[in-house]
Amino acid sequence: MSSLLRQSLFNRDLLVCTDLWLLLGSTILYILKDAAERNRLEGTTFIKLNLMVGLWALGAGVAQGFGDNVFNVRRAGDKLLFAVLFLNNGLVSQLRKMGVMKKEEDPDADPPLRVRLI
């Protein structure tokens, strides 16, 4: 605790922001999980949450990937994959809501495996 008090104000604020983002991100992911279980991902709020998480992960992946003026896929890969999954889910939900895409479910698939890529 005393080492935290000796740090600069910027470092302390950065630690607090990191902890708050973890709390916010966990809450958003829990909300999306609950919406998926209730089959309500086509709601406007859930579409926006999916897109927000996807865009955050895309930005974080690009930022982590750049180092020494070279893009390193190994450092950015997990965030970019995370971004693809959430952006895909948000876009598919939006297209279904607009009537561009029909909702097709495989009756033989388990509920967690009902993912359709564009």
DSSP state for residue 71 in the 8-state scheme: E
Question: CB atoms < 10 A from the CB of 5, how many?
Answer: 7
17-34: average pLDDT:
87
- Straight-line distance from the first to the last Cα atom of the chain, in angstroms, rounded to the nearest whole number: 49
Q: Are 93 and 99 in contact (CB under 8 A)?
A: no
Predicted local confidence at residue 5, as pLDDT: 64
Sign of CA dihedral 80, 83, 85, 87: negative
Q: Does 17 score more than 80 pLDDT?
A: no
Between 4-13, 46-55, 80-89, the lowest mean confidence (pLDDT) is in 4-13
Q: Model's pTM, two decimal places?
A: 0.71
Render pLDDT for 55-87 as a digit per residue (tens, 0 to 9).
Answer: 988 888 888 888 777 888 888 888 889 899 999
Predicted local confidence at residue 118, as pLDDT: 58
